[in-house]
Amino acid sequence: MKIICFHPGAIGDIVNTLPALDALRRQMPQARLTCLGQLEAMQLLAETGIIDTPLSLEYPGLHTLFHPELEPPESLVAFLQSFDLAVSWMRGAMNVFPERLRKLGLTTVLHPGPFPPPAGSGPAVRYYFEPLRQLGLKLETEHPRLPLSPEQRHTWLSAHPDLLDSPYLVLHPGSGSPRKNWPAERFAGLAKTYAPRIEKAVVVPKGPADEEAVANLVKAAEGFPLAVKEGLSLRELAAILAGAAAVVGNDSGVSHLAGAVGAPTVAIFRATDPAIWGVNQPHARNLGPGLVNLEDVQEAISGLILI
């Protein structure tokens, strides 16, 4: 069987879909799994064995399936008709897209519920698993896993030899929205507390949305050693997180990725519900909602590791 999946989400949403993809792998072991989404994220899933073939949602002609007045090119029709089953997490064009797939002969399942998940619905992994219940599959784990081999981590950190041997602390002060961000002064308090203990610069990954948050942290840290890592590929970011003694971040994709690669993770929630969006791992602590104080985070770190 050949299965094609469509996922428009960012890395945090994709991480929370890993238990669903794992269920497809385990409960339909003969299936070949092709996923269309953010290409770099899909490539990471392929390299870690989660899926077979990674493709971009910008696949030629795919946009025509969202507009009933447009005809898909023959090459797209032939490509899609080579699959037996489509699983869609697409929220836009709720009716048009799946209907176009069905008209091409694909059995299609999609998420039936509203977004965001309603209060009391449990962790987000349950929400993202929902389409697969229509196939009779069972959710075997609620803990997303993205295992990196030692060889992958070593290779992906080749540009960061300073991070290959001894442990380090990762602080990620950004997120998709400033209202989610813990104050820079409190992140700086962590840097001042832990940098002398680990005798190594605190690592700060800086993505495109993190400019202001990282600048505020650097200013607040007042000369304490911060290793700001900018322009990271998703591979590099995953490898850096996997080697961390601990990761502290906000409600962000970085925090979810950290948990999935096995890093002890403290995630701070100011504006969203950790009962839904928390990092759902035994090696994670989710704090909030509200304005979490520095001592709470230090206590959470101490409960996960000894630094």
Percent of the chain with pLDDT over 70: 98
Mean predicted confidence (pLDDT) in 211-238: 95
Q: In which band, very low, low, confident or very high, does the pLDDT at 307 lie, cut at 50, 70 and 90?
A: low
Rg of the chain taking only CA atoms, in angstroms: 20
> Of the ranges 191-195, 223-227, 259-263, which is most confident?
259-263
Closest by alpha carbon to 246, among 265, 227, 220, 272?
265
Question: Which pLDDT does position 232 carry in this prediction?
Answer: 98
Question: Which pLDDT does position 167 carry in this prediction?
Answer: 84
Q: Where are the domains of the chain?
A: 2-133, 152-304
**How many C-alpha atoms does 269 have within 13 Å on its Cβ side?**
17
Local structure of 171: helix, strand or coil: strand
Q: How far apart are the C-alpha atoms of 258 and 281, rounded to whole Å?
A: 10
| Architecture label for domain 152-304 | 3-Layer(aba) Sandwich (3.40)
Give DSSP secondary structure letters for 196-260. HHHTSPEEEEE-TT-HHHHHHHHHHHTT--EEEEES--HHHHHHHHHT-SEEEEESSHHHHHHHH
User: With 80 as the cut, is the pLDDT of residue 93 above it?
Assistant: no
**How many C-alpha atoms does 97 have within 13 Å on its Cβ side?**
21
Mean predicted confidence (pLDDT) in 246-250: 97
Instruction: Using the structure block, give the residue that is written with the tokens 């929205």.
Output: 177
Same fold, 2-133 and 152-304: yes
Which range has the worst mean pLDDT, 124-133, 194-203, 255-264, 296-305? 194-203
Q: In which band, very low, low, confident or very high, does the pLDDT at 173 lie, cut at 50, 70 and 90?
A: very high
Q: In which band, very low, low, confident or very high, does the pLDDT at 69 lie, cut at 50, 70 and 90?
A: very high
Contacting residues for 186 by C-beta, under 8 A, at least 6 apart: 292, 293, 294, 297
What would the pLDDT profile of 43-54 be if each residue is shown by its tens digit? 999 999 999 999
User: With 60 as the cut, is the pLDDT of residue 204 above it?
Assistant: yes
- Mean pLDDT across the chain: 94
| CATH number of the domain located at residue range(s) 2-133 in this protein | 3.40.50.2000
